[in-house]
């Protein structure tokens, strides 16, 4: 994989989705990130920013749960396909898609669009997934039926065909081209699936023992040689709730402020990230939009902001 040599236009794509989770509020995440100055921060780094607005999503009150093990699957798949088309179009135009959500079911669309773009050019996509959770459930293993706990499994081709075959093909990415970082709450069936597919997972225990710097260097060294496009999928709950409280499913013991920035700064230094998404910003659970402001800072770090 070759590093980028010039700054592409960043295309901001809002995905105000809260159908994938039980807790409401993440549909306001895109607005919170815009209010936090995400555009201005990127423009200060020399990027041109094109705001594509928000993809329309029907709210829960306008529909019914018809499949309890795949809640709101119809609307989620429909909007994921729209998002996928927009992401693919952004890449075909030479832009950098920055998708802001919304719950993590957003990744069904972003990764589908990236995979379709790569397939059309005989390229290979890879994913770094930053999350407190594995998101490796399926309709058969999920205790809740919430689809925001399934997108990584679906992207790897595991689970219901309604999710795995968005845009008509599966898998979107291969396990050897993916890594999950900062996990600390994994359901027993997810552990089994992780072992079966051979996904690389680095838990917070691994990070404590080995140090985050070594782990992110190892992840990049393992993934980059085999791919042409690196996508980073950032669930804000990978960070400790003492740093960011405005997330739907907080889990104690996450990344510190500096560790989160270190991950994104290290990825930025390789110049290899070609798309990014930020999920699970929930301003209802936040204080003075602090979590969205932190997320905007993280995005800036991933795209080149440095202390010195």
Can 269 be counted among the known catalytic residues? no
| Rounded Cα distance, 23 and 237, in Å | 14
pLDDT in tens, 135-188: 999 999 999 999 999 999 999 999 999 999 999 999 999 999 999 999 999 999
Instruction: Choose, from 11, 54, 75, 104, the residue flagged as catalytic.
Output: 104
Q: Does residue 253 surpass a pLDDT of 80?
A: yes
In terms of pLDDT, which residue wins out, 23 or 257?
Answer: 257
- Cβ(131)–Cβ(194) below 8 Å: no
The H-or-E segment that residue 188 falls in is helix 188-197
Residue whose C-alpha is closest to residue 236's, from 104, 115, 137, 135: 104
Can 131 be counted among the known catalytic residues? yes
b/e per residue, 289-299, with b = 16+ CB within 10 A? bebbbbbbbbb
Residue ranges of the domains in the chain? 10-302
Residue whose C-alpha is closest to residue 229's, from 119, 151, 155, 152: 119
Instruction: Choose, from 75, 103, 235, 265, the residue flagged as catalytic.
Output: 235
Give the pLDDT band of residue 5 (cuts 50, 70, 90): low
CB atoms within 10 A of CB 23: 16
- Is the whole-model pTM more than 0.95? yes
Token pair 């510190």 in the structure block, residue: 256
Q: Does residue 4 surpass a pLDDT of 70?
A: no
Can 228 be counted among the known catalytic residues? no
| Burial class of residue 181 (count of CB atoms within 10 Å of its CB; 0-12, 13-18, 19+) | buried
Can 229 be counted among the known catalytic residues? no
Can 104 be counted among the known catalytic residues? yes
Architecture of the CATH domain 10-302 = 3-Layer(aba) Sandwich (3.40)
Alpha helices in 58-168 (DSSP H): 73-92, 106-120, 151-155, 161-164
Can 237 be counted among the known catalytic residues? yes
Instruction: Choose, from 11, 75, 103, 135, the residue flagged as catalytic.
Output: 135
Can 280 be counted among the known catalytic residues? yes
Instruction: Choose, from 280, 286, 293, 297, the residue flagged as catalytic.
Output: 280
């Amino acid at each position: 994989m070759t590093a980028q040599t010039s700054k592409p236009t960043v295309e901001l794509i809002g995905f105000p989705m809260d159908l994938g989770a039980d807790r409401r509020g993440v549909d306001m995440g895109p607005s919170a990130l815009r209010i936090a100055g995400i555009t201005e921060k990127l423009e200060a780094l020399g990027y041109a920013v094109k705001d594509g607005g928000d993809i329309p999503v029907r709210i829960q009150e306008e529909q019914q749960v018809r499949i309890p093990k795949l809640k709101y699957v119809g609307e989620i798949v429909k909007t994921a396909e729209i998002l996928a088309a927009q992401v693919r179009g952004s890449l075909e135009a030479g832009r950098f898609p920055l998708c802001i959500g919304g719950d993590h079911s957003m990744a069904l669309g972003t990764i589908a669009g990236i995979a379709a773009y790569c397939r059309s050019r005989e390229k290979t996509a890879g994913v770094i997934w930053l999350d407190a959770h594995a998101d490796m459930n399926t309709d058969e293993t999920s205790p809740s039926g919430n689809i925001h706990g399934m997108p990584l499994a679906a992207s790897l081709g595991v689970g219901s065909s309604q999710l795995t075959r968005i845009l008509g093909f599966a898998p979107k990415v291969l396990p050897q081209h993916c890594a999950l970082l900062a996990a600390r709450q994994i359901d027993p069936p997810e552990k089994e699936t992780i072992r079966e597919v051979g996904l690389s997972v680095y838990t917070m225990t691994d990070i404590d023992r080995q140090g985050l710097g070594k782990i992110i260097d190892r992840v990049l060294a393992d993934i980059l040689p085999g791919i042409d496009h690196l996508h980073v999928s950032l669930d804000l709950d990978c960070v400790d709730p003492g740093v960011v409280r405005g997330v739907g499913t907080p889990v104690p013991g996450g990344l510190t402020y500096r560790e989160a920035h270190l991950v994104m700064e290290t990825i930025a230094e390789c110049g290899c990230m070609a798309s990014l998404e930020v999920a699970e910003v929930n301003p209802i659970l936040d204080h003075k939009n602090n979590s969205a402001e932190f997320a905007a800072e993280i995005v800036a770090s991933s795209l080149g902001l440095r202390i010195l």
